[in-house]
Structure 1
Amino acid sequence: MPSTLPDGDPVPADGTLPSRSLDGLGTRPFAFYVHVPFCVTRCGYCDFNTYTATELGPGASRDTYADTAIAEVRIARRVLGDVDLPVETVFVGGGTPTLLPPEDLGRVLDAIDKEFGLAPGAEVTTEANPESVDESYVGRLREAGFTRVSYGMQSAREHVLAVLERSHTPGRVPQVVEWTRKAGFEHINLDLIYGTPGETHADWKGSLEAALMAEPDHVSAYALIVEDGTRLAAQVRRGELAAPDDDAMADRYLIADEMLSAHGLHWYEISNWATGPSAVCRHNLLYWTGADWWGVGPGAHSHVGGTRWWNVKHPAAYATRLAEDVSPAHAREILDDDDRRVERIMLELRLADGCPSTLLDDTAARRAIDDGLIEPVPYERGRAILTRHGRLLADAVVRDLV
C-alpha cells in the first residue's frame, strides 16, 4: 500500500503560511508539481502514493480529478497573494499521469498559467508509462503545452520487467519515443532501474544500449530500493527473490556512467545524465537548489521559504477538502537555519557543481578528500564536489559531513 505521511505541525484551514516564509517570495525560482495518483495496476516494487481502481473507493474519480487539482491551484494563488510569481517549471508525476486525457492535463496547466503565468520558455514535463500513450495521445499532449516527456522504461529485458511487474514490452519504448519526437518534443527522458533480482551485468548493459539506441537527450538511472510494505519486499523476505547486492549495484552504476558518458550524456546529478545544459531537468534542479514549489495533489509535498508541507494522502479526502474550499494540507514543518544548511548539503552535494565548501565541517571534508570521496582542487576553490567513488557512497559521505 502507499507509504504513510510523516507527522508535523497542524496547518490552518485556509493554508496560510508564516509571514517569514513569504519574505523574498518572487526572488526565488517558483515551480509546480502536480501529482496524479492513478495506476492501472500497482508494480511490485512501488510504494508511491498511487491507487488502482479497486483501491480508490468512493469519493474520488479520474473524471473529476482535473477540476479538483485546479481548485488547489486557486488556493495556491490565494495563499501566496498577488506577488508576481512566473512559473519556471511544471512537472506532472504519479502514478500514471497519462491515464488522464491530455486535455485534462492541459486544463490544469492552463489554470497554472492563468493564476500565476508561465515564464517564457517554461519547462513542462509529464511522466508516462510506455503502454499508456499512442501517437495521437503524444500529439495532443504537445498541443496542450507540454515540452518534455519522461518515460518509465526501467529495463529492456522481459524477465526483469516481469519481476518489476511492468506491463510494457521492451519494443514499446523505441516506438513511443519515435512518436514523441515526431509530435515535436525536443526533450525526452528515459527512466531506468538497476539491481532488480535476476538482472545480470549483461542485462543491464543491454538495457542501457536499448535506451541509447532511442537517442533520448536525458537518462535517469536509479538503484532498486526494496521498500517495506511492497510485494517485492514480501517476496524477498520469503526468500522467493534475492535482495539486491550492494557490490553489484555499485558496479552497475559505474557501467551506466561509463556507457552514458561515452555516448555524450554526462552526469549532472548522481542519478541523472543529459546531453547538455538545455537537456537537464530544470524542475529537479529547482528541488536540489532550494527553490519554492507548490505540490498539487494527494500526498504532494510543497516548499515555500523554509516551510514544507504535505497534503492528505487519499484522493477522496483530498477531493473532500477542496470541495469545501479548505486547504488539503495534512501537516507541515518550519525549517530552522541548521535544518536548511543540512538540507542544502544533502541535495546540492548530489550535483556535478557540488555545494559551497563553507557549508561543511572542514575536518570531515578534508577526511573525505583523503579518502578519495571529494575532489581536492575544487574544494580549495570553494566547492565541494563528489568524486565518482564519492557518488557511490553519497549518503554515507553526507552523514559524515553534516
Structure 2
Amino acid sequence: MPSALPTGDPAPADGSLPPPAMAELGDRPISLYLHVPFCATRCGYCDFNTYTSAELGSAPGASRTAYLAAARAELDLAAHVLGPRTVDTVFVGGGTPTLLAADELVGLLNNVRDRFTLAPGAEVTTECNPESVDEAYLNALVAGGFTRISFGMQSARPHVLKVLERRHTPGRVADVVGWARAAGFGSVSLDLIYGTPGESVDDWRASLAAALACRPDHISAYALIIEAGTRLAAQIKRGEVPPPVDDDQADFYEVADRELTATGLDWYELSNWSRPGHECRHNLAYWRGDPWWGVGPGAHSHVGGVRWWNVKHPRSYTDALRHGRSPAAAREVLSADSRRVERVLLESRLSSGLPLSVLTPSEQARVRDLVARGWVALNEDALTLTLQGRLLADAVVRDLLD
C-alpha cells in the first residue's frame, strides 16, 4: 500500500491560507504539481500514491473522467486562494500521467492557462513510462505546450527490470527519446535506479552506458529504497531476493558520478545531473523552499511556511471537491526554526551550496571540522558537499545541526 500521510492540524474547508503566509507570498510566481494517480500495474518496489484499475474498481468518483473534473475544481480553488498569479513551472507526475490521452494531458495544461498566467519560457514537464506513448502522442504534447519530458528508464538490464516489475524492454527507451527529440521537446530526462537486488556494478555500468547513448539532457539516479508494505519488501523478508547493500550503493553512486560527469552531465543535486541549462527548475523550487501548489490525490503543497497535503484516495479527493470543499487532509504551519532546519536539509543537497548565514554560530563553528574530514568545501559564503560528503549527506546534516 502507498505510504501514509502525516497527521498535522485540521485544514480549512475553503482552502484559505493564514494572512502571514499570503503576505510572504506577495506577488511571487508559483510552481504547480499535478498528480495523476493511475498506473497500468503496480511495480513491486513502488509505494507512491497510485492505483490500478483493479484497485479502484468501478465505484463512482474513481474514474479518469471524475479525476479530471476534480483536478479542474482544485485549480479553481487554487486560483481563488492565490489570486492572479504567474506560474513558472508545471510538473505532471504520478502514477503514469501518460495513461491519460494526449488531449486530456494537454487539457490539464490548458486548465492551468485558463486560471493563471503561464510565464514566458515556463518549464512544463510530464513524467512518462516508455511503453505508454508513441510518436503521435509526443507530437501532441509538444504542440500543446509541454517543453520537458522525463522517461522512467530505471535499468537497461532485463533481469533488473524484472525484479523491479517494469514492463518496457530496454531498447524501447532509445526509441522514445528519439521520438521526443523529433517532436521538439526542449529537454529530455531519464530516471535510473541503482542497487536493485541482483544488480552488479557491471549491470549498472551497462545501464549508464545505454542511458548516455541516448544523449539525454538530464539524468536522475536514485538508490533503491525498500519501502515497507511493497511486494519487494515482502520478497526480501521471505528471503526470495537479497536486500540492497549500503556499500554497494555507494560504489554505484561513485560510478554514476564518474561516468555522467565525463560526458558533460554535472551534478546539481545529490541524485541529479544535467547539461548546463537543463536543471529541473521545478524540483529546484522544492529544494529552495519556493511556493508550490500540488493538485491531485495525496499531493503536497507549500506556501509561505504553510504545508498541506490532500486526501489520498481518488474517490475521497473527488468527493471533497464535488461538495465544494478543499481536498486537504491536514496542514502544518512551520515555525521559523523548522523552516531554517529544512533549508539546511534541502539546500545542502545542491551544488550551489548552503549559505553559511543560514547556520547558527555554534553550527558555523562545526563547519571547520567537516572541511577537515573532507565532507564539505567552502565556496565564498556557502558550503558544498564533496563527493565523499554526498555519500554521507545524512551524517553531514546530523553533525552540523544543533
Please report the TM-score for the alignment, with normalisation by the length of structure 1.
Answer: 0.97
Counterpart of 1:213, as a letter, is A
Residue-by-residue CA offset, 1:195-227 (whole Å, 9 max, x unaligned): 000000000000000000001100000000000
User: What is the aligned partner in structure 1 of residue 68 from structure 2?
Assistant: 66
Determine the C-alpha separation between the residues in 2 that align with 1:396 and 1:388.
Answer: 13
Counterpart of 2:122, as a letter, is A
Q: CA 1:49 to 1:252, structure 2 compared with 1: closer, same or farther past 3 Å?
A: same
- Unmatched 5+ stretches in structure 1: none
Counterpart of 1:69, as a letter, is A
Matches within 5 A, 1:79-98: 79-80=81-82, 82=83, 84-98=84-98
Mapped contact 1:301–1:311 kept (Cα < 8 A): yes
Mapped contact 1:124–1:146 kept (Cα < 8 A): yes
Matches within 5 A, 1:195-214: 195-214=195-214
Residue-by-residue CA offset, 1:47-85 (whole Å, 9 max, x unaligned): 0000000111312111332221111000001112x3x42
User: What is the aligned partner in structure 1 of residue 372 from structure 2?
Assistant: 370
Identity of aligned residues (%): 60
TM-aligned CA deviation for residue 102 of structure 1: 1.6
2:326 aligned with 1:327, yes or no? yes
Mapped contact 1:28–1:291 kept (Cα < 8 A): no
User: What is the aligned partner in structure 1 of residue 33 from structure 2?
Assistant: 33
Residue-by-residue CA offset, 1:287-320 (whole Å, 9 max, x unaligned): 1111100000000000000000000000000000
Which stretch of the first structure deviates more once superposed, 65-74 or 19-28?
Answer: 19-28
User: What is the aligned partner in structure 1 of residue 346 from structure 2?
Assistant: 347
Determine the C-alpha separation between the residues in 2 that align with 1:364 and 1:189.
Answer: 37
User: What is the aligned partner in structure 2 of residue 226 from structure 1?
Assistant: 226
2:102 aligned with 1:102, yes or no? yes
Mapped contact 2:192–2:220 kept (Cα < 8 A): yes
User: What is the aligned partner in structure 2 of residue 51 from structure 1?
Assistant: 51
- Unmatched 5+ stretches in structure 2: none
TM-aligned CA deviation for residue 156 of structure 1: 0.2
Counterpart of 2:5, as a letter, is L
TM-aligned CA deviation for residue 7 of structure 1: 0.2
TM-aligned CA deviation for residue 115 of structure 1: 1.0
SS in 2 for 1:385: strand
User: What is the aligned partner in structure 2 of residue 179 from structure 1?
Assistant: 179
Determine the C-alpha separation between the residues in 2 that align with 1:194 and 1:385.
Answer: 24
Which stretch of the first structure deviates more once superposed, 358-367 or 290-299?
Answer: 358-367
Matches within 5 A, 1:3-402: 3-57=3-57, 58=59, 59-80=61-82, 82=83, 84-276=84-276, 278-360=277-359, 361-375=363-377, 377-378=378-379, 381-402=380-401
Determine the C-alpha separation between the residues in 2 that align with 1:17 and 1:324.
Answer: 20
Counterpart of 1:131, as a letter, is E
Q: CA RMSD in A?
A: 1.0
Determine the C-alpha separation between the residues in 1 that align with 2:197 and 2:249.
Answer: 11
Mapped contact 2:66–2:318 kept (Cα < 8 A): no
Mapped contact 1:219–1:272 kept (Cα < 8 A): yes
Counterpart of 2:79, as a letter, is R
Determine the C-alpha separation between the residues in 2 that align with 1:371 and 1:102.
Answer: 51
- Number of residues paired by the alignment? 396
TM-aligned CA deviation for residue 363 of structure 1: 2.8
Determine the C-alpha separation between the residues in 1 that align with 2:339 and 2:283.
Answer: 18
TM-aligned CA deviation for residue 359 of structure 1: 2.0
Determine the C-alpha separation between the residues in 1 that align with 2:222 and 2:159.
Answer: 18
Counterpart of 1:394, as a letter, is A
Segments of 4+ moved more than 3 angstroms: 26-29
Determine the C-alpha separation between the residues in 2 that align with 1:38 and 1:364.
Answer: 46
Mapped contact 1:164–1:196 kept (Cα < 8 A): yes
TM-aligned CA deviation for residue 27 of structure 1: 4.5
Counterpart of 1:398, as a letter, is V
